[in-house]
A and B are shown apart, each in its own frame.
Chain A
Amino acid sequence: MFSIHLPVIVLLIPLVTALIIPVIADRNSALLQFVVGSAMILATLLVAIALSGTLRGEIFTYYFGDWLPGLGIEFIINVFSGFMSLLVLFMATLILFYAFKDISHDLPEHLIPYYYTLIFLMLFAMIGMIYTNDLFNLYVFMEILSLTSCAIVSIKRTGKNLLASIKYLMQGTIGSVSILMGIAFIYMASGHLNISTIAETMPAIWAAHPQNVLIALGFMLTGFGIKAAVFPLHTWLPDAHSTAPTPSSALLSGLVVKIYLFAMMKVMFQVIGIDILREVGIQFFLVLFAVAGMIMGSVFAIGQKDLKRILAYSSVAQIGYIMLGIALASPSGLNAAFFHVVSHALMKGALFLSAGAIIYNTGKRNVDDFNGIGYRMPFSMTVFTIAAFGMIGIPGVSGFISKWYLSMAVMEGGHPWILLVILFSSFLNSMYYLPIVIKGFLCAECEGSPNVMGRDSLPASMWIPMAIMAFLIILFGLFPQLIMNITGQMPHLFL
């Protein structure tokens, strides 16, 4: 029913907007906000329509320049890519509306239009990475994504930002060079770059040149491991995510890291295939890395004082959960991983935005200064509390559902000892989230202070996105089948 160009149009909207913004940069900021907002809403609506089409069983494929399948670049919108691009665009819309007011707090006036340009280029790269079915195209989008995500950290131009983003750049580039090396080894053996075509020839390659496949798998897992901050390779993440401006932190932690995990899944399950992975026996080691990340990320977070740094380390732990679901490589494991991708995007988005709102209003970043902050900013602290409960996994919030399904998948996969790790990790999560909540709302020294639970003095463009996120966290916690019905269709695309 749609034009066959739909995947490209979705991709072109952020790209064209990124080019328009510098042109209108000198005009008033109202026009800029109108362009940014309308582009985001338009793209989100288009993707939502595409998703509703894929849910009815349609699949949109696009061959660039009409080259034959297998020769040219191919884009696919199926249930997985449609839903995940909708998640990316929806979250980015909320975060960008939040950014309208918040970003002028972090950046000088003349840099703000270029910040939006970078964000739109980043969205372009993220959607491209989700849609593409071509390994080299994946690499090119990945490089755009890594450059722009470094740039939205360094745009603040304080010493710490610069150091964090050059660290991110160095480690990210080592990662992407490794990935390109892996692509070279796969291309050497198969002679194809299209993921579906490689998958068809994979059994023959595995029989003839197993060492090529093994080396490629090693290089690519390492590369995507660095990019996605899987535990021992996570060292760039806390610096980059905590020093960035708040909207950047929310985008980087909530969305960008997961895009690399999706790319990793494409390589693991669609290119190399589950049979070869089982034969190599790599899943068990991935499970170990995931489990180590779940524990160590939280352990590091407990030692931190800076609120945004706590949230960044908590991301390392949460990536461990998603990685665990992927490493189980069973339909229920992938389903849990996809659900946690959604719920973590919402929860981490809400946490970073409410933390940003607290910093915006009070300028406090250190957790020790948070005594009684819930009296001054009841709304932000409520959103923070809901999301923090989700992180801990308290029933009624979406984080509980993802932990529940992950536990079921672990039992199915025959690793019951991981249940203890999930439980322990939840305890560790509560060790650093609950003190903040308790300090914020139950303050011993604040007895005499005026106990007025009024509204925060936040602009509407800041509290509405936070409210939507908090609402969705509770909604998906009470009615997980809203998401589960869609994510349940995805695992068979990979396994």
Chain B
Amino acid sequence: MHSLWIEFLDHVNYIGAACLFVVGLYTVITHSNLIKKIIGINIMETSVFLLFVSIGFVSGAKPPILAVGEPGGFFVNPLPSALILTGIVVGVAITVYGLSMVIQIHKEYGTIELDEIVETEKEIKTQIFRKQDDTSHV
């Protein structure tokens, strides 16, 4: 039992990343609110960032800064953190673009609930069909 607990604590980052990934995916798929969908995508991205940064961790190692005269040894891998900085920037770009789309959609349809938008689209379609029918009868 004790060793299982230690095992869990050792891998808590990975387990957390997996949970966040699933939570994010669930939010994107099930919610019809567009802003909640974008939040879900952000949660998914965060899960990958967490996993990526955790990979670089070496237990008992020093931060990767070399001082003059200091002996070497194990260092934490700085590369994943640097990569994830890029990843965060990419995530921000996607969020900004998505939110600006939501603003445009709100202007167009007056709502950001996807199911309501789908219904208005259907109504527009049926109206067009009715008009066509009317003209064909005339």
Residues of A within 8 A of B (CB): 136, 139-140, 143, 147, 150-151, 154, 157-160, 162-163, 165-166, 169-170, 173-174, 177, 180-181, 184, 187-188, 191, 193
Contacts and interface: CB of A to CB of B under 8 A. Distances in A.
Given A147-B93, A163-B121, 11 more contacts: A136-B86, A147-B97, A159-B105, A159-B108, A170-B41, A173-B44, A177-B21, A181-B47, A184-B52, A184-B55, A188-B55
Interface of B: 21, 25, 28, 34, 37, 41, 44-45, 47-48, 51-52, 55, 77, 80, 83, 86-87, 90, 93-94, 97-98, 101-102, 104-105, 108-109, 117, 121
Contacts of B87: 139, 180
B48 A184 contact: yes
A187 B80 contact: yes
Nearest to A165: B101
Given A147-B93, A154-B101, A188-B55, A174 B121 contact: no
B90 A140 contact: yes
24 contacts: A140-B86, A147-B93, A147-B97, A154-B101, A157-B104, A162-B104, A162-B105, A163-B117, A166-B105, A169-B97, A169-B98, A169-B101, A173-B41, A173-B44, A173-B94, A174-B44, A177-B21, A180-B48, A181-B21, A181-B47, A184-B51, A184-B52, A187-B55, A193-B83
Main secondary structure of the interface of B (DSSP, over half): helix
Nearest to A151: B97
Contacts of A173: 41, 44-45, 94
A174 B34 contact: no
Contacts of B45: 173, 177
Contacts of B109: 159
B41 A162 contact: no
B101 to A, nearest CB: 5
A275 to B, nearest CB: 25
Nearest to B38: A170
A160 B122 CA distance: 12
A180 B80 CA distance: 12
A140 B94 CA distance: 12
B40 to A, nearest CB: 9
Contact of A170 (B28, B47, B104): B28
A166 B44 contact: no
* CB-CB nearest 7 A-B residue pairs: A159-B108, A143-B90, A177-B44, A184-B52, A188-B55, A180-B48, A166-B101
Nearest to B37: A170
Which of A151, A159, A193 is the most central at the interface, judged by chain B CB atoms within 10 Å of its CB?
A159
Contacts of B83: 136, 193
A139 B101 CA distance: 23
A37 to B, nearest CB: 29
Contacts of A191: 77
A465 B117 CA distance: 39
A190 B60 CA distance: 21
A335 B100 CA distance: 43
Given A140-B90, A147-B94, A163-B117, A174 B105 contact: no
Given A159-B109, A184-B48, A166 B55 contact: no
Contacts of A157: 104
A291 B117 CA distance: 34
A143 B90 CA distance: 7
A166 B112 CA distance: 12
Contacts of A177: 21, 41, 44-45, 48
Contacts of B47: 181
B101 A162 contact: yes
Nearest to B98: A169
Nearest to B104: A162
Contacts of B97: 147, 150-151, 169
Contacts of A158: 108
Nearest to B108: A159
A70 to B, nearest CB: 12
Contacts of B37: 170
Contacts of A136: 83, 86
